Amino acid sequence: MPQIRLLLVDNNPYFAERVQSLLDSEQEIRVVAHTTQSQDILALCAENTPHIIIIGQVDNDSLTIIRAVRSHYPDIRIIALASKIDTQHARLHLKAGVTGYLLKHDIFASLSDSIFTAHQGKAVISSDVTRALL
């Protein structure tokens, strides 16, 4: 299986370090870049050709960023992270084209599985968010 290239976007550098340390043992997944600045995302996509973007807290509107990535790089899968359940926020992100919508505190329990599932083009949504949406 080819290696899955991952771009992390979050304004907390400790989050990126934690993700990286969890993925260090995964031969099939490699973090190719991390940014805390949303304006860097398109350039990093061009430079690193990620398969997956995990986008957490950013310096401005995540929906604008997601739409820009989807417009320029429609094959990249995006997993959006939220700090709490907000059904309106979730619906807007799903409509914008994210493959996954996870609660940030849940991501570490199923990080690799979520990345593999999203890479296959399958939806990855936190069970708590799914229940709230129904």
Return the structure tokens found at 50. Answer: 């990620």
Return the structure tokens found at 18. Answer: 């934690």
Give the pLDDT of residue 61.
Answer: 76
Residue with tokens 């599985």: 113
Strand partners of residue 80: 55, 101
Residue 44 is classified by DSSP as H
* pLDDT tier, 131 (very low <50, low <70, confident <90, very high otherwise): confident
> Which distant-in-sequence residues (6+ apart) come within 8 Å of 81 by Cβ?
10, 54, 55, 56, 57, 102, 103, 104, 107
Mean pLDDT of the chain: 90
Give the pLDDT of residue 59.
Answer: 66
E strand or H helix at 43:
helix 41-48
Whether CATH 3.40.50.300 fits 4-133? no
- The string of pLDDT tens digits covering residues 12-25 is 888 888 888 888 88
**Domain residue ranges of the chain, discontinuous segments joined by +:** 4-133
- The string of pLDDT tens digits covering residues 22-70 is 888 889 999 999 998 888 999 999 999 999 999 987 766 788 999 999 9
